[in-house]
Amino acid sequence: MKLHHRMLRHFIAASVIVLTSSFLIFELVASDRAMSAYLRYIVQKADSSFLYDKYQNQSIAAHVMRALAAEQSEVSPEQRRAICEAFESANNTHGLNLTAHKYPGLRGTLQTASTDCDTIVEAAALLPAFDQAVEGNRHQDDYGSGLGMAEEKFHYYLDLNDRYVYFYEPVNVEYFAMNNWSFLQSGSIGIDRKDIEKVFTGRTVLSSIYQDQRTKQNVMSLLTPVYVAGQLKGIVLLDINKNNLRNIFYTHDRPLLWRFLNVTLTDTDSGRDIIINQSEDNLFQYVSYVHDLPGGIRVSLSIDILYFITSSWKSVLFWILTALILLNMVRMHFRLYQNVSRENISDAITGLYNRKILTPELEQRLQKLVQSGSSVMFIAIDMDKLKLINDTLGHQEGDLAITLLAQAIKQSIRKSDYAIRLGGDEFCIILVDSTPQIAAQLPERIEKRLQHIAPQKEIGFSSGIYAMKENDTLHDAYKASDERLYVNKQNKNSRS
């Protein structure tokens, strides 16, 4: 295939890919817009979930404040005795239900710095109100369309006056003990001191991301102050960990998306982050969304391109099949064109080139080779006694002799050379980038091939050789070789 035809084929193939890809690009752009809107929806839903958690934490704190503000009856001797009997010490910490559930009056674990059980008797009598508040908020009806997740988050209460902490869930003191009770000054429980100081303003605070001393994982906390008689008494806390965040951000209506979704919360101040979810396969991101929540928390979401391929597999398959079909049509068209072109310049009987190969383009190419110093040899060949064969054996035998000679010529030259049947029993061979010595040996090589492929036939031929010169046309070069053929043939006839 000629260079300009090859370039045209590549151009058409590239155009087919571009045009068919425009459909896929349109689908990709539409998907990008839709998924960007969906990511915004996920963040808005998460923000609403944080507000819902904030509301629940405030509800628990309000319940505790009402219990503290109510007129308290004196703790009975039996209850006091039960509390003190269950009071224990372990791991330099004191309290109730430290290693086992020994005091049934409380659901969770109470840790204190005091070694005297009398200091926590009143607290133990009041903390069931905290248990009831947490339990009530966990089991209330969800009117938020999934905002109130049916999950158990970690609630606890820090009493600043009486210096104790009460965990709603049992916490084994062997794994975590509150030993440093100066947390307001040192931030020893992991929460940043600035976040704790904000509690003194009376507002519920969403903390920055910090490493929880109990779980050694990055978490966030909601801190709601508890006041008694206008004075800050304690803090109700709710920890939000990675599992809680996974439930908040999980795409329930698009479970397939979760496999290819990256979700990360980052603290813009400290640089700490919580990697909520990572795509199973990270090829490259095609949709991303970043949003800053109040309190310096940045939400980053992105979707891997494999989600588009997986979710839109019908469109992708349609694009692939359409592109393949059109490319195959282009290939078949050019192959047909090449076959037609080859047939147009090929001799029907011998399969060699015919006169139509002798074009101005070939002439220019050969002249450039000669000008560059390469040798181009013309060999004119003419069968001997073809008329005698036709007259004595018939034209069928004459055509067979021509075909056998053409076959011998074709097998004796290189692919870069040109073997041309000019008509009748006249042939022309053009040796490209050859030498006079090789050209002189070619007739002998053709004779040997004839003896090999047709040992029973007596097929002879005469030849003339000419080296093409600068400014020679194809006609000039062939005419010169034909003149030498005529001379050689006359000499051959005179000898016989």
Exposed, middle or buried, 414 (CB in 10 Å: 0-12/13-18/19+)? exposed
Report the chain's mean pLDDT, rounded to a whole number: 86
Catalytic residue among 212, 347, 382, 425: 425
Question: Above 60 in pLDDT, residue 184?
Answer: no
pLDDT in tens, 286-321: 899 999 988 789 999 999 988 888 877 777 777 788
Question: Above 50 in pLDDT, residue 186?
Answer: no
Q: Which residues pair with 156 in a beta bridge?
A: 167, 237
278 vs 297: CA distance, rounded Å:
19
Q: Which two tokens stand for residue 18?
A: 């571009």
To the query of whether residue 425 is one of the catalytic residues in this protein, the response is yes
Question: Above 70 in pLDDT, residue 149?
Answer: no
Q: Which residues pair with 380 in a beta bridge?
A: 428, 464
Question: Above 80 in pLDDT, residue 151?
Answer: no
Q: What is the pLDDT of residue 3?
A: 54
Q: What is the pLDDT of residue 197?
A: 65
Question: Which DSSP category does 118 fall into?
Answer: G
Domain map (residue ranges) of the chain: 349-495
Q: Please compute the mean of the pLDDT values over residues 347-368 and round it to a whole number.
A: 89
Evaluate the CA torsion angle 181, 184, 185, 186 in order and state its sign. positive
**Nearest by Cα to 236 from 56, 48, 17, 106:** 56
Q: Which two tokens stand for residue 376?
A: 């181009």
Task: Say if residues 53 and 220 touch (Cβ distance below 8 Å).
Answer: no
Question: Above 70 in pLDDT, residue 185?
Answer: no
pLDDT in tens, 316-354: 777 788 888 877 777 777 676 665 555 577 888 888 999
Q: What is the pLDDT of residue 115?
A: 92
Going from the C-alpha of 120 to that of each of 72, 107, 180, the distances in angstroms are 15, 15, 18
Q: What is the pLDDT of residue 339?
A: 56
Evaluate the CA torsion angle 226, 232, 234, 236 in order and state its sign. positive
**Nearest by Cα to 213 from 187, 238, 194, 237:** 187
Question: Above 90 in pLDDT, residue 250?
Answer: yes
Beta strands in 294-434 (DSSP E): 297-304, 376-383, 418-423, 426-432
Going from the C-alpha of 148 to that of each of 63, 140, 276, 450, the distances in angstroms are 19, 9, 19, 96
Share of the chain above pLDDT 70, in %: 89
pLDDT in tens, 450-459: 999 988 888 8
Exposed, middle or buried, 291 (CB in 10 Å: 0-12/13-18/19+)? middle
Minimum mean pLDDT range among 81-90, 124-133, 377-386, 485-494: 485-494
Contacts for 203 with CB less than 8 Å, ≥ 6 apart: 225
* Statement: 349-495 belongs to CATH 3.30.70.270: yes
Q: Please compute the mean of the pLDDT values over residues 112-136 and round it to a whole number.
A: 92
Judged by phi (left if over 0) then psi (alpha if -120 to 50, else beta), residue 477 lies in alpha
**Nearest by Cα to 122 from 176, 177, 169, 67:** 67
Share of the chain above pLDDT 90, in %: 51
Question: Above 60 in pLDDT, residue 46?
Answer: yes
